[in-house]
Amino acid sequence: MSQKPKVIVSVPLPPDLRERLAAACDLVDVPMGQSPADAVPADVRAQVSGMVCTMKTRIDQALLDALPALKVSSNFAVGFDNVDVAAATSRGVLICNTPGVLDGAVADVTIGLMLCLARNLVAGDAFVRSGAWAQGPFPLTRDIRGKTLGLLGMGRIGRVVARTARAFDMPVIYHNRREDPEAGGLATFVERDELFKSADVLSIHIPLSAQTRHSVGKRELSLMKPTAYLINTARGPVVDEAALVDALRAGTIAGAGLDVMEQEPLPATHPLCGLPNVVLQAHVGSATHETRRAMIDLAVANLLDALGGRQPAAMVNPETWKAAA
Ligand code: 8YV
């Protein structure tokens, strides 16, 4: 009779990590995006004490009910809006995530979207490939240097974006719920409305929650300059997408760079796909070989540490860990 803890694996694991995890745990594979409540028989579910999963796995009351012996779930993501943290905490289920290892990769996509928008690089590529260059030069675009970058949220990723933007001689302003004393050297705190009014580029770096859902909507977009760009590499639903489409069509703002959307994958029929002043990416912020390996290393280490009685490096609800200690 195996005494190894049963662990649901709902994320692709590199062979060496799978071998490491299998040495310590009995693995129960669940296809990514499927709920373990549907994919795993009840008698097996009743023995599961750990899980490693992506943000596609919704950890809500129903799933927690279906996994009565669950002690820890390790998110292969820094965002944890897929988790009902209050419900997990009330049941003593520790939630871990992967902060700190993807900041640079996401910041790079943020800067890339900013440059694509200001210098119209995506349209420029199509312009050359189409042969239109023979009819004349590509239209003038806009400098990004010296323009004001506004960060909605100044956490780990926001700070890396601020540091990077300084290399483009961009003054950086930010808004957080509270002024961050450590941000002084990188960016200036401003009130929320001032952020939207003053930014030439407004980049979103806040988590998705009930409070932040659709928190960037018609009112905020109307405060922005008509020459300003909105960038979102955080979570799609932070932005009221219908209001964004209206603002882009009306010229309320000059353009948007989106790595995340309310509906993912974004259907090709979505209005955003038909707008010329939008640059779209397929939620690739952390999607580099190096960063995803660092994330999965951390996600598996969090799981093994928690099951082994060692404090994990990254906990969303550390009070659960202290209670268990
Ligand atoms: C996910 C993300 O990690 O980390 C996050 O919160 O949004 C992404 O980097 C990626 O989609 C894998 O789940």
pLDDT at 90: 97
pLDDT at 45: 98
- Kindly give the distance from the C-alpha atom of residue 132 to the centroid of ligand 1, in angstroms, as a whole number: 38
- Kindly give the distance from the C-alpha atom of residue 3 to the centroid of ligand 1, in angstroms, as a whole number: 32
Give nearest CA residue, ligand 1 atom 4: 77
Q: What is the pLDDT along the chain (325 residues), one digit of tens a residue?
A: 568 999 999 999 999 999 999 999 999 999 998 999 999 999 999 999 999 999 999 999 999 999 999 999 999 999 999 999 999 999 999 999 999 999 999 999 999 999 999 999 999 999 999 999 999 999 999 999 999 999 999 999 999 999 999 999 999 999 998 888 888 789 999 999 999 999 999 999 999 999 999 999 999 999 999 999 999 999 999 999 999 999 999 999 999 999 999 999 999 999 999 999 999 999 999 999 999 999 999 999 999 999 999 999 999 999 999 766 6
- Rounded Cα distance, 20 and 138, in Å: 54
- Kindly give the distance from the C-alpha atom of residue 292 to the centroid of ligand 1, in angstroms, as a whole number: 9
Ligand 1 nearest-atom number relative to CA 286: 9
Q: Which of 78, 235, 290, 316 to mutate to test the pocket of ligand 1 (most atoms within 8 A of CB)?
A: 78
| H or E element at residue 23 | helix 15-24
- Rounded Cα distance, 51 and 6, in Å: 9
- Kindly give the distance from the C-alpha atom of residue 84 to the centroid of ligand 1, in angstroms, as a whole number: 17
How distant, in Å, are the alpha carbons of 27, 39, 228, 246, 315 from that of 258?
A: 36, 33, 14, 15, 28
Ligand 1 nearest-atom number relative to CA 98: 4
Any atom of ligand 1 within 6 Å of the Cβ of 77: yes
Angle between the 15-24 and 289-307 helix axes, to the nearest 10 degrees? 0
Any atom of ligand 1 within 6 Å of the Cβ of 301: no
- Rounded Cα distance, 267 and 151, in Å: 28
Any atom of ligand 1 within 6 Å of the Cβ of 156: no
Long-range CB pairs of 263-268 (<8 Å, 24+ gap) are 263/236, 264/236
* Catalytic residue set: 235, 264, 283
Any atom of ligand 1 within 6 Å of the Cβ of 288: no
pLDDT at 2: 61
- Rounded Cα distance, 214 and 242, in Å: 10
Nearest Cα to Cα of residue 117 among 149, 85, 72, 151: 149
* 194-218 core/surface letters (b: 16 or more CB in 10 A; e: else): ebbbbbbbbbbbbebeeebeebbbe
The residues pairing with 136 across neighbouring beta strands, listed in sequence order, are none
| H or E element at residue 116 | helix 103-119
3-state helix, strand, coil split of the chain in percent (to 5) is: 40, 15, 45
Coil vs helix vs strand at 100: coil
Nearest Cα to Cα of residue 165 among 102, 228, 107, 231: 107
Query: Which domains does the chain show, CATH number per domain?
Result: 6-101+290-324 (3.40.50.720), 103-280 (3.40.50.720)
Give nearest CA residue, ligand 1 atom 5: 77
Count of CB atoms situated within 10 Å of the CB of 159: 21
Any atom of ligand 1 within 6 Å of the Cβ of 207: no
pLDDT at 139: 98
- Kindly give the distance from the C-alpha atom of residue 59 to the centroid of ligand 1, in angstroms, as a whole number: 15
How distant, in Å, are the alpha carbons of 116, 121, 178 from that of 125?
A: 11, 6, 42
pLDDT at 140: 98
Q: Which of 55, 95, 96, 292 to mutate to test the pocket of ligand 1 (most atoms within 8 A of CB)?
A: 55
pLDDT at 3: 86
Ligand 1 nearest-atom number relative to CA 291: 9
